[in-house]
Amino acid sequence: MVCTYCGSKTEVVNSRHQKRLNQVWRRRHCLNCGAIFSTHEATSYEGSWRVQTATSGLQPFLRDKLLLSVHKSLEHRPDSTTDASAITATIVSQLGQLSDKGLITSKQIIKTVQETLDNFDKPAAVHYAAFHKL
């Protein structure tokens, strides 16, 4: 990985495995300009997961689409962006366990979102259910 500021070579000065998120965090140091920045290595679900839908066949899994629908249901909360981001991470990790080698159904997604929202914020679960029929 090259420096984000000058494009020169970098070295890893520290790294940590974040077990809960299944991510690797690395602190990098630019050998040219001395800048320090960090990177995260995580599974990319885009392009590897497929969603079986009832009406439009197999579709790629889009994490941003999930995040937006979760955020819409949490808009009444004061810190809806942070909440939506955390809830989406929880949902994605549950979907990973439900999926059959990256294949999930749209029903599994809707059910998982509803259950997760229901445990966190009842009005959000009701709002989501109104727009996503099982």
How far apart are alpha carbons 33 and 36 in whole angstroms?
9
Residue 14 — φ and ψ, nearest 5°? Answer: -160, 150
> If binding means CB under 5 A, how many residues of this protein chain bind Zn ion?
8
Q: E-strand spans in the chain?
A: 10-18, 23-30, 36-41, 50-52, 58-60, 103-105
Say if CB 61 and CB 104 are below 8 A apart: yes
Q: Does 3 engage in binding with Zn ion (CB under 5 A)?
A: yes
**Which candidate, 7, 115, 22, 15, places its Cα nearest to that of 70?**
115
Q: Which is nearer to Zn ion, 6 or 103 (CB)?
A: 6
Find the shortest distance in angstroms from Cβ 34 to Zn ion. 7
Find the shortest distance in angstroms from Cβ 9 to Zn ion. 9
Q: Which is nearer to Zn ion, 33 or 42 (CB)?
A: 33
Contact string 45-84 vs Zn ion (x = CB under 5 A): ----------------------------------------
Dihedral (Cα; 52, 54, 55, 59), 10-degree rounding: -10
For residues 13-52, which are near Zn ion according to CB under 5 A?
30, 32-33, 35
Q: Does 5 engage in binding with Zn ion (CB under 5 A)?
A: yes
Q: Which residues lie near Zn ion (CB under 5 A)?
A: 3, 5-6, 8, 30, 32-33, 35
